[in-house]
């Protein structure tokens, strides 16, 4: 099928740094030495992020007039007053707008948006934590050769993002907990690189949790019955239960190999 343009548009002959590195990080058919470099691949991603963020900061520094910083009279007066009292020079004021992700104004704007949701829909009813599992089949099936999940952070975050979208769709569209009036979430990363999301849900009046039976319907602190739901029992005992550790499993992550000669769980959870 031939594409026919209805109107002429200016063609872009250049791409941004973010678009370029997004293209470079995409996995394609055939062997890729970049994606098979292990920790060097991690270093490449960090360098790409620093270069992209540095170019954005440089643009903001060079285009302060377009940001109309002269419209911040209160801030300028406060800085000049402090400089006068401490007998120091004011220096050049650089404004980081709320459009720059991670800036104080961006975080404050997100906080105000969250508080506006609370004022309109009242306090949230549910708090969920969704954690990435490096043993997901979608992640393991994408590993090539001797690769491990920690070698491919690009695959981990993509799979996590897709599963998070499916979870939110089940909750908000399919009514897993009832009718959702509003929700907000934030994604954080653990020290080992795995992402997890904290989700706040606000339900309507008919779906709110009011009795102990409503709590028991959504929250469970016991092992599932293997006779009625074997798959759920296996998932809970594998992913949500501590152990076995101690003398039965001396290679458990909760037992320091060199510092603890008695093979005692450092979390004091002697479960066998």
The domains of the chain are located at 102-208
Which three-class secondary structure string do you get for the chain?
Answer: CCCCCCCCCCCCCCCCHHHHHHHHHCCCCCCCCCCCCCHHHHHHHHHHHHHHHHHHHHHHHHCCCCCCHHHCHHHHHHHHHHHHHHCCCCCCCCCCCCCCCCCHHHHHHHHHHHHHHHHHHCCCCEEEEEECCCCCHHHHCCCCCCCCHHHCHHHHHHHHHHHHHHHHHHHHCCCCCCCEEEEEEEEEECCCCCEEEEEEEEECCCCCCCCHHHHHHHCCCCCCCCCCCHHHHHHHHHHCCCCCCCCCCCCCCCCCCCCCCCCCCCCCCCCC
What number of CA atoms fall less than 13 Å from residue 142's CA on the CB side?
21
Question: Which of the listed ranges 85-94, 212-221, 251-260 does the model predict with the highest average pLDDT?
Answer: 212-221
Q: Which residues pair with 139 in a beta bridge?
A: none
Nearest CA to 36 among 194, 154, 138? 154
pLDDT, tens digit, 9 for 90 and up, residues 102-142: 899 899 999 999 999 999 999 999 999 999 999 899 999 98
Which tokens go with 240?
Answer: 């949500």
What pLDDT sits at residue 5?
Answer: 55
Q: What are phi and psi of 185, to 5 degrees?
A: -145, 160
Nearest CA to 42 among 25, 20, 64? 25
Q: Quick one: pLDDT band at residue 6, thresholds 50, 70, 90? A: low
Nearest CA to 158 among 192, 184, 195, 183? 195
Least reliable range by pLDDT among 149-158, 163-172, 243-252: 243-252
Contact 197, 129 (CB under 8 A): yes
pLDDT, tens digit, 9 for 90 and up, residues 37-64: 989 999 999 999 999 999 999 998 888 7
Query: What is the rounded distance in angstroms from the CA atom of residue 255 to the CA atom of residue 199?
Result: 32
C-alpha 167: how far from chain center: 14
What pLDDT sits at residue 54?
Answer: 94
Higher pLDDT, residue 256 or 53:
53
What pLDDT sits at residue 272?
Answer: 44
Q: What are phi and psi of 194, to 5 degrees?
A: -85, 135
pLDDT at 10 over 80: no
Q: Which residues pair with 127 in a beta bridge?
A: 200
Using a pLDDT cut of 90, give the percent of the chain over it: 49
What pLDDT sits at residue 46?
Answer: 95
Average pLDDT over residues 166-177: 94
């Amino acid at each position: 099928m031939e594409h026919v343009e209805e109107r002429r548009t200016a063609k872009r002959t250049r791409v941004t740094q973010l678009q370029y590195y997004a293209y470079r990080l995409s996995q394609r058919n055939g062997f890729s030495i970049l994606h098979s470099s292990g920790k060097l691949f991690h270093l490449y991603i960090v360098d790409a992020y620093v270069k992209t963020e540095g170019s954005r900061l440089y643009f903001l520094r060079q285009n302060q007039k377009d940001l109309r910083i002269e419209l911040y009279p209160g801030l300028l007066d406060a800085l000049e007053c402090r400089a006068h009292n401490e007998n120091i020079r004011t220096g050049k004021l650089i404004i980081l707008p709320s459009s720059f992700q991670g800036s104080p104004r961006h975080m404050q704007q997100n906080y105000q948006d969250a508080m506006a949701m609370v004022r309109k829909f009242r306090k949230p009813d549910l708090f969920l934590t969704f954690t990435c599992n490096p043993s997901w089949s979608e992640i393991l099936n994408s590993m090539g050769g001797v690769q491990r999940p920690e070698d491919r952070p690009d695959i981990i975050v993509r799979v996590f993002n897709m599963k998070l979208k499916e979870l939110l769709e089940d909750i908000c569209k399919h009514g897993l907990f009832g009718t959702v009036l509003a929700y907000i979430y934030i994604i954080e990363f653990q020290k080992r690189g795995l992402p997890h999301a904290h989700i706040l849900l606000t339900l309507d009046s008919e779906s709110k949790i009011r009795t102990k039976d409503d709590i028991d319907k959504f929250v469970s602190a016991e092992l599932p019955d293997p006779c009625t739901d074997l798959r759920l029992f296996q998932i809970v005992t594998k992913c949500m239960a501590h152990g076995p550790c101690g003398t039965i499993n001396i290679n458990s992550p909760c037992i320091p190999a060199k510092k603890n000669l008695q093979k005692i769980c450092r979390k004091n959870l002697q479960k066998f």
